[in-house]
């Protein structure tokens, strides 16, 4: 078996071996207050800078999604698809799966609630991990089910063997968050698949993949870059397994405020989720945003790259300070700072919001923000912990920090040339072409664009549709406060 993991891999042989020698595990008696991390709310609703506590996407939504929302706004007097059918159909093509195996809702939050209504039974039990995302087990308990928790293993990874040992004849569902929140750890897909196969046939495995898009391009070791090959649990659904995968547009796609989630699973299971839904919970604008975002996988790539770079920057700083951290696959990580509650409140008084809790008194959970936010976080942490030493070193950048207007390519050009722009944040942008007399020739862009790289092609045509003559032309980018002009030459 190929092992992508440098610290958490559990081989299939080891996993199956431990199952047969199963020792009974005591159930954790959990204080409900310790399940979720404490929420630092002061100031957060008005000031988003330093809000590195909700695992949001610092790049914002894809520009295509923003445009889609703007274009759909005028139709807001009409109800949306009752059940998000157009998005279901786009997701079906995207995943190459039957649309009967998909259900959409208002965020993963609605989907998890509907799943708890479908899979939790009074008198039965559901099995979950701790610490992990708590909504499903909490909802299951609310609907009358007993909840059994298995601790994470010594590497803070969901412990499949411990979960298996909690399953009995009354178990209706096992809930696994992968990548796990709050630890950011990731299971080996083959181990997860073997686990699902080992369960009694009536037990459904609910796999919350809220962060799965961000693990693309994640590298656990410097020489293993993980491009698009992480095997999502959607593959298990395609293989006919008794699995429901919960996904969201909130994280990788940067659409947390638009509230769109979905589940992909065996048809009978999806029908049970549908049985409890109410209609029209996803707005027209959100539906269009999600469909456009799905098309813009470059935005996901930029998101994943930024998460990896900011994470690595922090890890280097932690190494320098001698702090232990849990290697994460996603856009948040945990670092052991000694007294997490105290450090969290000191950070919060400096306008940096992180989280603590989950019964882990030493660990902060920190979302990866912009590079600027991570530098502020590290500076403040050094100060609070008394490591005034070395100023943070810059991470090994691939994404520029500032607005960039790149040289047109090719230049000089004959029939067409491509002009690339990089934006550090989502903003209103105009890109115009002028002739040497300063007269406007045409506009290539005049709209809101998302953070990341954008390419525009100019084929030597002016705004009235006529071919322009050979010569020098200027292209001018206005993005927020930044105005950048460059020159290119058209040769016919
Ligand atoms: C693991 C996990 N699942 C689900 C959610 C909820 O996502 P949504 O915004 O789609 O409701 C979150 C939000 O933080 C999460 O971390």
Residues with Cβ < 8 Å from 360, sequence gap 6 or more?
131, 182, 334, 340
| Structural tokens at position 313 | 């920057």
DSSP annotation of 393 reads P
> Residue 479 in contact with residue 429, Cβ under 8 Å?
yes
Distance 99 CA to ligand 1 centre (A): 23
Q: How confident is the model at residue 394 (pLDDT cuts 50, 70, 90)?
A: very low
Distance 109 CA to ligand 1 centre (A): 6
Task: Give nearest CA residue, ligand 1 atom 12.
Answer: 210
Distance 108 CA to ligand 1 centre (A): 6
Q: Which atom of ligand 1 is nearest to the CA of 54?
A: 14
Task: Give nearest CA residue, ligand 1 atom 15.
Answer: 210
Give the DSSP per-residue string, 30-52.
--HHHHSEEP--TTTTT--TTB-
Task: Tell me which residues have their CB closer than 6 angstroms to ligand 1.
Answer: 55, 107-109, 133, 177, 181, 208, 210, 248, 250, 256, 261
Q: Is the peptide bond preceding residue 440 cis, with omega within 30 degrees of 0?
A: no
> Residue 167 in contact with residue 20, Cβ under 8 Å?
no
Per-residue pLDDT at 285 exceeds 60: yes
Whole-structure pTM value: 0.76
Span 32-59+300-398 CATH architecture: Alpha-Beta Complex (3.90)
Across the range 346-373, mean pLDDT stands at 93
- The full set of domain ranges for the chain reads 12-30+63-295, 32-59+300-398, 404-490
What CATH code would you report for 404-490?
2.60.40.1930
56-70 pLDDT, tens digit per residue, is: 998 889 888 999 999
* 12-30+63-295 classified as CATH 3.40.640.10: yes
**Kind plus residue range of the DSSP H or E element containing 165:** helix 160-166
157-207 pLDDT, tens digit per residue, is: 999 999 999 999 999 999 999 999 999 999 988 899 999 999 999 999 999
236-249 pLDDT, tens digit per residue, is: 999 999 999 999 99
Would you state the pLDDT for residue 26? Answer: 31
Q: Which of 22-26, 144-148, 294-298 has the highest mean pLDDT?
A: 144-148
> Residue 69 in contact with residue 62, Cβ under 8 Å?
no
Q: Which atom of ligand 1 is nearest to the CA of 251?
A: 9
């Amino acid at each position: 078996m190929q092992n992508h993991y440098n610290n958490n891999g559990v081989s299939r042989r080891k996993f199956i071996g431990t199952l047969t020698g199963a020792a009974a595990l005591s159930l954790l008696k959990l204080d409900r207050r310790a399940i979720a991390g404490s929420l630092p709310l002061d100031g957060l609703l008005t000031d988003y800078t330093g809000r590195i506590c909700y695992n949001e996407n610092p790049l914002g939504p894809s520009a295509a999604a923003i445009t889609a929302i703007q274009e759909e706004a005028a139709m807001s007097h009409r109800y949306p698809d009752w059940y998000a059918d157009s998005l279901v159909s786009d997701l079906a093509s995207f995943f190459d799966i039957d649309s009967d195996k998909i259900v959409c809702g208002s965020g993963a939050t609605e989907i998890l609630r509907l799943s708890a209504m479908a899979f939790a039974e009074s008198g039965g039990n559901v099995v979950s991990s701790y610490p992990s995302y708590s909504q499903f087990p909490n909802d299951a308990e609310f609907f009358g089910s007993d909840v059994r928790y298995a601790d994470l293993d010594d590497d803070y990874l969901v412990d499949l063997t411990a979960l298996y040992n909690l399953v009995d004849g009354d178990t209706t569902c096992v809930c696994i968050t992968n990548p796990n929140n709050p630890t950011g750890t990731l299971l080996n897909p083959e181990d997860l698949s073997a686990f699902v196969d080992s369960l009694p046939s009536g037990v459904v495995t609910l796999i919350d993949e809220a962060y799965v898009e961000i693990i693309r391009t994640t590298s656990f070791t410097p020489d293993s870059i993980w491009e698009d090959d992480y095997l999502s649990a959607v593959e298990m659904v395609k293989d006919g397994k008794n699995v429901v995968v919960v996904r969201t547009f909130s994280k990788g796609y940067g659409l947390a405020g638009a509230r769109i989630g979905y589940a992909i699973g065996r048809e009978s299971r999806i029908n049970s989720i549908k049985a409890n839904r109410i209609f029209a919970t996803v707005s027209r604008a959100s539906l269009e945003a999600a469909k456009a975002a799905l098309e813009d996988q470059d935005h996901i790539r930029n998101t994943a790259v930024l998460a990896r770079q900011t994470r690595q920057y922090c890890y280097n700083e932690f190494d320098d300070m001698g702090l232990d951290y849990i290697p994460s696959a996603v856009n948040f990580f945990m670092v052991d700072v000694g007294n997490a509650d105290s450090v969290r409140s000191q950070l919060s008084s400096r306008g940096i919001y992180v989280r603590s809790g989950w019964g882990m008194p030493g660990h902060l959970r920190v979302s990866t923000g912009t590079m600027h936010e991570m530098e502020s976080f590290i500076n403040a942490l050094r100060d609070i912990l008394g490591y005034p030493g070395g100023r943070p070193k810059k991470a090994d950048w691939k994404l520029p920090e500032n607005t960039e207007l790149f040289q047109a390519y090719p230049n000089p050009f004959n029939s067409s040339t491509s002009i690339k722009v990089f934006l550090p944040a989502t903003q209103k942008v105009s890109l115009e072409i002028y002739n040497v007399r300063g007269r406007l020739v045409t506009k290539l862009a005049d709209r809101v664009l998302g953070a990341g790289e954008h390419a525009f092609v100019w084929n030597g045509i002016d705004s009235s549709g006529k071919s322009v003559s050979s010569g020098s032309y200027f292209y001018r980018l206005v993005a927020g406060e930044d105005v950048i002009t460059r020159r290119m030459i058209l040769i016919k």
